Amino acid sequence: MTNEQLAARIIELLGGQENILTMENCMTRIRTNIQDPAKVDVAGLKATKGVLGVVNDEPTYIQVVLGPGRVREIMDICTQKMGIREQKPGQAQTSPQRIGDWEANKAAVKSRQKHTELIKQVRVLADIFTPMIPAFIASGICNGLGKLIKIMMDNGTLPDGVVMLVISNIIVLIGNAFLSYLAIFTGVRSAKQFGVNEMLGGMIGAASLNSVVNTIAQALGWYNADVVNNSILTTGAGGIIGVVVGVWILAKIEKWVHKWMPEVLDVSFTPVVAMLIAMPAFVLVVMPVTGFVSNGISAFLNLFVNSSNPIVSAITGYVLAATFLPLVLLGLHRGLIPFYTLQLESLGGITLFPAVAMAGAGQVGAAIGLYIKAKRVGNARLNQVIMGALPAGILGIGEPLIYGVTLPMMKPFITAGLGAGFGGAYVMVKGVMSTAFSPSGILAATHVMPEHVLDYVIGTLISYVAGALITYFAIPDEDVASV
């Protein structure tokens, strides 16, 4: 089935173009707002070749899982060629993103509904960064590869001639091109989310990187030349958190100015007046305050994720890995993205992500444990499902395992987390650091810092083994036989 045929089939099974109010995509799925749930053929969607799963915990909010790569192509066909309206940033949705087949656990859905407002608030912040994930991936992988090439050139494994020097620096350039100007990209994305001109948002981000900020700080006596990090105000203070807050303020001011500005002057003068008000507030208030907050958050995180006490590190890693997928089900995992970027800014790498990446490895381990037990009790259908989903799970695409295996049974979903915790504890104690926060699974080794790749692989294997053992011994035979 071609992508065009698959897109047409999905639209047909969703009740036709007129039944789809809006559509948007994330890394692995298309999310649709539906007008009449009775027109949706969920069973047909699930049976469609190319569809990895369907989430329809709320009747008017259907998520069709297609996997990374293909989802964007299908989305482009639906919106650009078939006329489906794409979800606009900041537009209200009927349901937050969740992962899991909640038809198998309706009681769990009801227990999570009280978190709806919290999920919406987390989503506003996370939606700023989610579209930047591909750039984080490309940048992170190239940074890791560039570092590996430099090590190999230094020890003589690779020649240090002109050709290799040019190649290595091009790779480093790819890695630096995004991260060096992350504040600008954040400003653009924040502006799109908050409904203000994207170039104005980019200006806020660019201003935070400009050396003129140091000149202003020196004039005010806020700059500490001896210990720059102790300055009240300095270039980059507040980082991306400051930029997000600054653009939010700009959006509020721009809308206020727009209300009273004469129409004939609106296009020319509203942006100027809004920036003249917002920029001083950003530089003189937002940057110093968010700089203080960011430093406090970094220091607090370092107490746990970079603790010199191995017991603290192990407990932290265990908790992060064991609880990550429940956070995913609640839609709260996206709230970790700002913390990833905060670590990337302050440390040059991320220690949170390698730990939470073990959650997927725990799911793989649980599936292996179930496979062994299902083979023993003679459940061939379950084994077939597991074997179909396992390769994707190893590569870091967890939806097939979650939808088809662990979550419908529920208990293996829990034992998977318990097993994942051991891998999380190991990588946290070892200080494993990555340069990006996607993809996960074994593919994450591509952006784990070279000196930490072996420990990441060992942590993954620990999660496999622990998840398999705990699942095998904790899940009764009758549960496996009756699925």
Which amino acid does the sequence have at 176? Answer: N
Q: Are 136 and 185 in contact (CB under 8 A)?
A: no
Compute the radius of gyration of the chain from its Cα atoms: 24
pLDDT score for 179: 80
Q: Are 415 and 470 in contact (CB under 8 A)?
A: yes
Which amino acid does the sequence have at 334? Answer: R
Q: Are 467 and 444 in contact (CB under 8 A)?
A: no
What would the two tokens of residue 16 be?
């036709």
Q: Are 128 and 193 in contact (CB under 8 A)?
A: yes
pLDDT score for 457: 96
CA-CA distances (angstroms) from residue 426 to 93, 186, 332? 39, 33, 24
pLDDT score for 95: 40
**Residue range(s) in the chain whose domain bears CATH number 3.30.1360.60:** 3-95
Q: Give me the sign of the Cα torsion angle 114, 194, 334, 25.
A: positive
Q: Supply the residues annotated as catalytic.
A: 26
The C-alpha atoms of residue 99 and residue 65 are separated, in whole angstroms, by: 10
Which amino acid does the sequence have at 472? Answer: Y
Strand order in the sheet with 29-34: 20-25, 29-34, 61-65, 53-58
pLDDT score for 226: 85
pLDDT tens for the chain, 483 residues: list them: 788 999 999 999 999 988 888 888 777 788 888 888 889 999 899 889 888 888 876 778 888 988 766 888 898 898 888 888 876 544 444 343 332 333 333 333 334 444 455 566 666 777 788 788 778 878 878 877 887 888 888 888 888 888 888 998 899 898 888 888 889 999 999 999 898 999 999 999 999 999 999 999 999 999 988 888 788 999 988 888 899 999 999 999 999 998 888 878 888 899 999 999 999 999 999 999 988 888 887 788 788 887 889 999 999 999 999 999 887 766 567 678 778 888 887 788 899 999 999 999 999 999 999 999 999 999 888 888 888 888 888 988 777 787 678 887 889 999 999 999 999 999 999 999 998 887 788 888 888 988 899 999 999 999 999 999 999 999 999 888 877
In the CATH scheme, what is the code of domain 3-95?
A: 3.30.1360.60
pLDDT score for 256: 92
Q: Are 424 and 320 in contact (CB under 8 A)?
A: yes
CA-CA distances (angstroms) from residue 25 to 50, 134, 393, 449? 16, 14, 21, 30
Q: Are 235 and 210 in contact (CB under 8 A)?
A: yes
The C-alpha atoms of residue 144 and residue 348 are separated, in whole angstroms, by: 11
What would the two tokens of residue 380 be?
């061939």
